[in-house]
Structure 1
């Protein structure tokens, strides 16, 4: 019978059923009123087993309390599904916030009564970016509902999001900005190390905090999985760089000088002196504050844009830029190459770069 079992004499595992059959041991998560779930055939104290158990228990504890056939039931089912749980933590947070808001408004409304007009009315009072996230949530929920045959049609497909005004966003750092920052923060400071790491890799702050020596392969390429997208990014670390990046070797040399100047070595390059990983928020403030002290009004994300821009100006293709920066869609990269091509169109072939032009 399922009950409570203590793993390694420390952790109580509730709803765990263990079956001995044919000389083998099988583990299941089994709770009253819920379908039995198979767990890995591993020792109870192993990290892999405990992780699988925790994931299964999370799904179990989100069992629907909503009335059958309601929008709320579909939302609760979606939030417990693999489709939802497979996304990044930050994406799940956004979707859950909007899903809970929809659920609160819908109360006991039947899913069969949901129309495109209802969804449009829900989007109307929201700002453009919030409306875009809300529509993503509606489409994810409706797609799940249709897959589970809780909806016969998907009314979210005909709904249209509001146009999002074009904005510059975080501006890219200029050559003058880079020079000012380097002049203010010398090699050996955490401000300089953070700057050089983000500038060379083009990584987002959320990824920069976890980059470390263990991510460098035998081929000399740094590879890390992006937190936002779950996709990999590849950066020439010690290997011979591609032809378009040969003119950037001074930047890589600066980074390695900053790394060699560290007093403490840890699993991540930007860890604190005590070996703790820095938070994305803290690191973002560190760069912004340090930039202001250098009379540079730019952000850490602007360094990512600067790397993409310099890659485009060096002749890298959209695919090559995307491999380095980790952008998923080519459309995200094309505006960098478009700007570089237009700039090149008004320059002479033999133009020399003078200090006044930088």
Structure 2
């Protein structure tokens, strides 16, 4: 059990301010470092503390039950999953980030974060030249992970700094003209799913992820009330 004194934190635990100036409790033992999110003292804190002593995460959702090598990219990914920068994002964003993070973990999980250099990052992105969009997403996720690594002192410089991804050469998505909208409405009259889908997208201005969830439950009188998934904005 962790000590219950309110005046003394357990061994390896210190109070520190993150880059948002918020005081958080950080466990650090050797190269292993993580934030403990439960209040001290509490039973929940004790569970997290004991898990940290085992170099594991107590929180739900960590992939794999085996021990993670301290200071590795796999340990960084696991730490990031418990950070407010990740947990405070929308579920859809978390799903996207997890997908890329697991690719990074699979490709380089056993490598030490402290050994990552600009040369390594440029080589990783360079090998993805046949998939420029995926390469840019990979680089963006690496930047996010490195910022977190700096925050928890797993590394002290950013090897992704000012590394450029692949340029995006695209004319973008075509915006429908009034004539094209009229032709679509003529082909799909009111009452069809196709017409309903277009009307929701065109006249509510919602993101696709929000528009597909709209239903009668969101209608109140002559208004549609919805809370956006990505931003939480009503």
Class of the TM-score when normalised by the shorter of the 2 chains: 0.5 to 0.7
- 1:263-318, CA deviations, whole angstroms, 9 ceiling, x for partnerless residues? xxxxxxxxxxxxxxxxxxxxxxxxxxxxxxxxxxxxxxxxxxxxxxxxxxxxxxxx
Alpha-carbon shift at residue 150 of structure 1 (Å): 0.9
Which of 7, 11, 34 is the matching residue for 2:51?
Answer: 34
- 1:97-121, CA deviations, whole angstroms, 9 ceiling, x for partnerless residues? 2222222232432222111111111
Q: Summarize the alignment of residues 101-120 of structure 1 with structure 2, pairs less than 5 Å apart.
A: 101-120=103-122
Structure 1 Cα separation of the partners of residues 147 and 206 of structure 2: 32
Alpha-carbon shift at residue 192 of structure 1 (Å): 2.4
Contact 2:59 2:82 in 1 (8 A): no
2:125 maps to 123
Structure 1 Cα separation of the partners of residues 115 and 70 of structure 2: 14
Structure 2 Cα separation of the partners of residues 175 and 60 of structure 1: 49
The two structures have a TM-score, normalised by structure 2, of 0.66
| Distance 1:104-1:205 versus aligned 2 partners, 3 A rule | closer
Which of 177, 187, 203 is the matching residue for 1:184?
Answer: 187
Q: Summarize the alignment of residues 1-358 of structure 1 with structure 2, pairs less than 5 Å apart.
A: 28=44, 31=47, 33-34=50-51, 57-58=59-60, 65-126=67-128, 127-169=131-173, 171-212=174-215, 215=218, 222=224, 224-227=226-229, 229-230=230-231, 232=233
The two structures have a TM-score, normalised by structure 1, of 0.45
- 1:242-276, CA deviations, whole angstroms, 9 ceiling, x for partnerless residues? xxxxxxxxxxxxxxxxxxxxxxxxxxxxxxxxxxx
Structure 2 Cα separation of the partners of residues 197 and 186 of structure 1: 14
Structure 2 Cα separation of the partners of residues 160 and 65 of structure 1: 34
Unaligned 5+ segments in structure 1 are 2-25, 36-55, 234-358
Cα-Cα RMSD? 3.2
| Distance 1:99-1:197 versus aligned 2 partners, 3 A rule | closer
Contact 2:72 2:110 in 1 (8 A): yes
- 1:48-80, CA deviations, whole angstroms, 9 ceiling, x for partnerless residues? xxxxxxxx8416777883211222211221123
Structure 1 Cα separation of the partners of residues 141 and 62 of structure 2: 22
Q: Which has the higher helix share?
A: 1
Contact 2:73 2:110 in 1 (8 A): yes
Structure 2 Cα separation of the partners of residues 139 and 62 of structure 1: 24
Structure 2 Cα separation of the partners of residues 216 and 65 of structure 1: 50
Contact 1:64 1:76 in 2 (8 A): no
1:4 maps to none
Structure 1 Cα separation of the partners of residues 170 and 157 of structure 2: 33
Q: Which has the larger radius of gyration?
A: 1
Counterpart secondary structure, 1:108: coil
Structure 1 Cα separation of the partners of residues 187 and 61 of structure 2: 51
